[in-house]
């Protein structure tokens, strides 16, 4: 099995094998993101005990599962009656093994193991502090999708596991480079323009990308998976939030609300639109959505109104815009939707979001990776000019890049009307912000600009979609 991407995560896991101390590692992230696949592949020669929680199972079933799993390694243990006894058996088993080689205990779907009134977490706490943490040969990996649980009970644990974690790995969706690598490894041969369209619908979730079949066009893959009667991505959305979060109705409500606005919302607007009280519940909801990669918190340029939240999960955006309100069909749905003006407008917005998520690749394309900078958006405060900048990069070398972003199926031409619009943006931005920096127009498009007098006069930097696929 081949691992795609995850370079830094693989390095952390491999370095734990070289460590002279015991390691307690948490791996978390949304479902379908590849957590189990990563751990099993890196540690395939070192895992000495692997247990996966059973969804919705009670204490007796979880302990039976533990007993059967341990019994495959050492059949002399009787079925434990509690998690304290179960972890005691695990101590006994590992206590028999020599210290020479690293040994990995992998507890997958960790939150499911902690069933109601099971005292699982306290027993695990005791196992780590009294045994595993005393052995330099031990690596304990706990893995789970339920962000609510993992953040509260493991990452920010205030009890016996407080400050005991040695590493915390949050897996995020693939970027475009990793997506391209994965598709190629699965013998999926698509142009980068087609990969962008796939990314707009599926995002970079590995399990979704795995569903594409060799020889399918973009239209065929999207029709089958998103609009077919039993399409995987037609059915997936109803499970996404329920599997990740407590009180998931709040999370889904925030997602739906943010899907309906283009530039994001401040917290007070989320409160007003969602009718969720502005307190701990909302803070928890926003934090968990951000930790899981569904939304992004950012600061508008020169804003005095605090942070904005915007939806950055492509699959959620695509489902709510196109899948949810369509009837299942055998084929042809996507070809119809693709040619609608509503898709062209939406794809432009989605491409902007993808560009913002690939800001490091854009900085590399501009040769400014080593220059300090911040990225943001900007809206004219007086709101009477109709001018807003979706994406800018404010650099410490006395330059601000105002980015114009266009998703187009061929080279893009700046005409006279658009040239006047760009000039207006520059003038209003410079006057309103009172910046003394150089303002450069940076054009990011799929196939580049068609050169003419306006592009030569107005555009200082030009990037294409190829820059977004850069490996960093």
Q: Which residues contact 165 (CB under 8 A, 6 or more apart)?
A: 24, 25, 26, 154, 155
- The confidence score (pLDDT) of residue 244 equals 87
Query: What mean pLDDT comes out for the span 247-265?
Result: 91
Whole-Å CA distances, 244 to 226, 256, 293: 22, 16, 12
Q: Whole-angstrom Cα distance, residue 256 to residue 267?
A: 15
Average pLDDT over residues 397-405: 97
pLDDT at residue number 382: 67
Q: CATH for 7-170, among 3.90.1170.50, 3.40.50.300, 3.40.50.80, 3.20.20.70?
A: 3.40.50.300
Average pLDDT, rounded, for the chain:
92
Is the model's pLDDT at 248 over the cut of 80?
A: yes
Binning pLDDT at 50, 70 and 90, where does residue 303 land?
low
User: Percent of the chain at pLDDT above 70?
Assistant: 98
More confident residue, 10 or 299: 10
> What sign does the dihedral 252-253-254-257 (CA atoms) show?
positive
pLDDT at 255 over 90: yes
Q: Which residue has the tokens 């939240």?
A: 309
* Across 3-23, average pLDDT: 94
CATH topology of domain 174-340: Arc Repressor Mutant, subunit A (1.10.10)
* Signed CA dihedral, 328, 329, 335, 339: sign only: negative
pTM: 0.92
- Yes or no: domain 358-468 corresponds to CATH 3.30.70: no
- Which comes out higher in pLDDT, residue 230 or 194? 194
CA-to-CA distance for 279 and 285, rounded, in angstroms?
10
Tell how far CA 413 is from the center of its chain. Answer: 34
User: How many CB atoms sit inside 10 A of residue 151's CB?
Assistant: 20
What pLDDT, on a 0 to 100 scale, did the predictor assign at position 202?
96
Which of 51-65, 205-219, 265-279, 420-434 is predicted least confidently?
A: 265-279
Element of type H or E holding 308: strand 307-311
Q: Alpha-carbon distance 77 to 66, whole Å?
A: 11
The pLDDT, as a whole number, for residue 381 is 67
Mean pLDDT of the 7-17 span: 96
Q: What is the pLDDT of residue 354?
A: 96
SS3 for 51?
Answer: strand
Least confident of 261-265, 317-321, 353-357: 261-265
Model pLDDT, residue 315: 97
Q: Which residue has the higher pLDDT, 182 or 280?
A: 182
Per-position b or e across 244-260, b if 16+ CB within 10 A of its CB: bbeebebbbbbbebbbe
Q: Rounded to whole angstroms, how far apart are CA atoms 291 and 471?
A: 24
Domain boundaries, the chain: 7-170, 174-340, 358-468
Q: Which of 449, 375, 366 is nearest to 406 (CA)?
A: 449
Other CB atoms within a 10 A radius of the CB of residue 396 amount to 11
Rounded Cα–Cα distance for residues 417 and 228 (Å): 42
Q: List pLDDT tens digits, range 27-59.
A: 999 989 999 999 999 999 999 999 999 998 999
Task: For residue 22, give Cα distances in angstroms to 16, 95, 100, 135.
Answer: 8, 15, 13, 6
The reported pLDDT for the residue numbered 384 is 64
Helices then strands, each counted (H, E), the chain: 23, 13
- What percent of the chain is modeled with pLDDT above 90? 77
Question: What is the 8-class DSSP label of residue 161?
Answer: T
- Condensed to tens digits (0 to 9), the pLDDT of residues 143-197 reads 998 877 888 888 887 777 767 888 999 999 999 999 999 999 999 999 999 999 9
H or E stretch at 462: strand 459-464
pLDDT tens digits along 180-190: 999 999 999 99
């Amino acid at each position: 099995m081949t691992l795609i991407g995850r370079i830094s995560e693989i390095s952390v896991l491999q370095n734990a094998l070289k460590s002279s101390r015991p390691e307690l590692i948490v791996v978390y992230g949304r479902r379908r993101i590849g957590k189990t696949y990563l751990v099993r592949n890196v540690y395939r020669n070192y895992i000495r005990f692997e247990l996966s929680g059973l969804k919705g199972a009670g204490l007796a079933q979880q302990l039976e599962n533990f007993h059967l799993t341990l019994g495959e390694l050492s059949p002399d243990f009787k079925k434990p009656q509690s998690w304290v006894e179960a972890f005691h058996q695990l101590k006994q088993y590992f206590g028999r093994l020599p210290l020479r080689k690293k040994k990995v205990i992998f507890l997958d779907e960790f939150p499911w193991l902690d069933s109601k009134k099971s005292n699982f977490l306290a027993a695990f706490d005791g196992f780590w502090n009294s045994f595993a943490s005393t052995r330099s040969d031990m690596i304990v990996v706990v893995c789970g999708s339920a962000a609510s649980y993992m953040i509260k009970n493991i990452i920010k644990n205030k009890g016996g596991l407080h400050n005991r974690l040695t590493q915390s790995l949050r897996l995020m969706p693939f970027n475009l480079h990793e997506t391209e690598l994965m598709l190629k490894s699965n013998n999926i041969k698509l142009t980068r323009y087609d990969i962008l369209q796939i990314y707009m619908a599926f995002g970079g979730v590995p399990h979704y990308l795995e569903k594409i079949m060799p020889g399918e066009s973009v239209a065929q893959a999207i029709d089958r998976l998103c609009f077919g009667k039993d399409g995987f991505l037609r059915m997936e959305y109803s499970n996404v939030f329920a599997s990740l979060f407590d009180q998931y109705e709040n999370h889904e409500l925030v997602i739906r609300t943010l899907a309906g606005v283009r530039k994001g919302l401040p917290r007070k607007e989320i409160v007003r639109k969602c009718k969720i009280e502005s307190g701990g519940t909302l803070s928890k909801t926003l934090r968990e959505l951000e930790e899981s990669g569904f939304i992004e918190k950012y600061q508008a340029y020169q804003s005095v109104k605090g942070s904005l939240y915007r939806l950055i999960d492509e699959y959620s955006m695509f489902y709510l815009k196109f899948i949810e309100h369509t009837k299942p069909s055998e084929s042809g749905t996507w070809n119809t939707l693709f040619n609608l003006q509503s898709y062209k407008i939406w794809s432009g917005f989605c491409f902007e979001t993808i560009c913002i998520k690939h800001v490091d690749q854009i900085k590399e394309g501009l040769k400014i990776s080593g220059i300090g900078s911040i990225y943001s958006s900007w809206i004219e405060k007086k709101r009477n000019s109709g001018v807003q900048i979706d994406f800018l990069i404010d650099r410490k070398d006395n330059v601000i890049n105002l980015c114009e972003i266009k998703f187009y199926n061929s080279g893009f031409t700046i005409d006279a009307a658009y040239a006047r619009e760009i000039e207006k943006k520059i003038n209003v931005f410079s006057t309103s912000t009172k910046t003394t920096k150089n303002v450069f127009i940076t054009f990011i498009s799929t196939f580049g600009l068609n050169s003419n007098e306006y592009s030569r006069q107005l555009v200082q930097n030009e990037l294409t979609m190829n820059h977004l696929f850069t490996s960093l």
